[in-house]
């Protein structure tokens, strides 16, 4: 049965239900989630970070749809409730309890230095809320509550993971060994760049440069055709001088299983247009099964809810024990 093999290292990660997943989310996180799950080496927990998503402006009428949409992404990409606990963050209230406890040992200044806080508070000036500031503390709680040793994420989350490690160390030295110091696991593409500007990370907040993994074939072809390229005409990996083509080469390599060298050879003397046409075909074919699965899953909200209910129950059982241990350590159990 699922969470019974307690000897395997514990792995956890989550994504916010804020919008459609793009290729950066896939190549930096979700593809890896599936591979790590299927490696059989870890006891895996994957969740929908709905509480974190409240820190951005949102429409309550759309939130449940966004949650189910991300759950469908997880399943269509290959996450399997028989192998992993797939759950909803807000169904495990111990995470917010722990966030409060950890908040009491988090230096104010550390949170103010977080790049994501600075970026997001700059981007949403009308809504610089406290949740945006304490976001990394809740993220640390998500990780520490499950004794997770491994956390697969994209590069932009590394600073948050470092805080989780710092808080684990600090708590352990103050109150006795309680938490595991987790390690980040990055993919070969931890920071995929935008299609319309290779100096910026592909991000949901800038949809014009995103290739969404549930985009229809015609849309994929249109976006890749329009993607920015560099001067010259040679298909060559060169991050310094050819950042746009290098980014497209990374995508091609990751989705075709070919090495960058092989792809360069294949397109030697052929120019950008032919390369882009082949890349579009590769992307369309790669996600064909995903699109089919997702279209079918999205029509079955009851199935999606059942998956979250099952996983949340599993996560909750672990979290309840851990919060008891934590409260005991800090003298709250009277
Ligand atoms: P976004 O920045 O687009 O809003 P999220 O913050 O929801 O994305 O990120 C979900 C996961 O995808 C995280 O693990 C994050 O590090 C990863 N990720 C986001 N953008 C990229 C990217 N451009 N390249 C690689 N990984 C990314
Ligand atoms: N902050 C992560 C993101 O934006 C989502 C997240 C919340 C997370 N809690 C986590 C990721 C715990 C890994 C572990 O993508």
Q: Residue 5: count other Cβ atoms within 10 Å of its Cβ.
A: 10
How many whole angstroms from 52 Cα to the centroid of ligand 2?
A: 8
Tell me what pLDDT residue 118 has. Answer: 96
User: pLDDT for 88-124, tens place per residue?
Assistant: 999 999 999 999 999 999 999 999 999 999 999 999 9
Q: DSSP assignment, residue 11?
A: E
DSSP string, 38-104: HHT-SEEEEEE-HHHHTTS---HHHHHHHHHHHHHHHHHHT--TTTEEEEEGGG-THHHHHHHHHHT
User: What mean pLDDT is predicted for residues 15-19?
Assistant: 96
pLDDT greater than 90 at residue 7: no
pTM: 0.96
Tell me what pLDDT residue 3 has. Answer: 55
Share of the chain above pLDDT 70, in %: 98
- Residues near ligand 2 with C-beta < 6 Å? 12-16, 49, 52, 139, 142-143, 151, 153, 157
- Alpha-carbon distance of 210 to 313, in angstroms, equals 35
Q: What is the mean pLDDT of the chain?
A: 97
* Three-state DSSP class for residue 136: helix
Q: Using most ligand atoms within 8 A of CB, pick from 156, 185, 193 the residue to mutate for ligand 1.
A: 156
SS (H, E, C) 175-190: HCCCCCCCEEECCCCC
């Amino acid at each position: 049965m699922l969470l019974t093999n307690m000897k395997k290292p514990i792995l956890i990660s989550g994504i916010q239900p804020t919008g459609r997943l793009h290729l950066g989310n896939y190549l930096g996180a979700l593809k890896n989630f599936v591979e790590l799950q299927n490696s059989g080496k870890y006891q895996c927990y994957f969740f929908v970070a709905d509480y974190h998503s409240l820190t951005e402006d949102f429409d309550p009428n759309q939130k449940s749809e966004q949650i189910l949409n991300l759950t469908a992404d997880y399943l269509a990409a290959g996450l399997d409730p028989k192998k992993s606990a797939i759950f909803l963050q807000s169904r495990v209230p111990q995470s917010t309890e722990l966030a409060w406890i950890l908040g009491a040992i988090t230096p104010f200044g550390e949170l103010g230095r977080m790049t994501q806080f600075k970026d997001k508070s700059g981007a949403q000036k009308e809504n610089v809320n406290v949740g945006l500031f304490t976001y990394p503390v809740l993220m640390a709680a998500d990780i520490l509550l499950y004794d997770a040793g491994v956390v697969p994420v994209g590069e932009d989350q590394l600073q948050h993971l470092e805080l989780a490690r710092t808080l684990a160390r600090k708590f352990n030295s103050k109150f006795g060994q309680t938490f595991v110091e987790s390690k980040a696991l990055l993919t070969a593409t931890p920071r995929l760049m935008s299609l319309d500007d290779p100096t910026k990370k592909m991000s949901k907040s800038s949809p014009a440069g995103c290739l969404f993994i549930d985009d229809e074939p015609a849309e994929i072809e249109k976006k890749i055709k329009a993607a920015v390229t560099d001067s010259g005409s040679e298909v060559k990996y060169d991050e310094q001088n050819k950042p746009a083509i290098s980014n497209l080469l990374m995508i091609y390599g990751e989705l075709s299983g070919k090495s960058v060298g092989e792809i360069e050879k294949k397109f030697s003397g052929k120019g950008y247009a032919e390369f882009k046409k082949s890349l579009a075909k590769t992307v369309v074919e790669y996600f064909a099964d995903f699109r089919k699965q997702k279209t079918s899953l999205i029509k079955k909200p009851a199935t999606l809810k059942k998956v979250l209910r099952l996983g949340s129950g599993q996560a909750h059982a672990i979290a309840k024990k851990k919060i008891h241990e934590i409260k005991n350590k800090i003298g709250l159990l009277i």
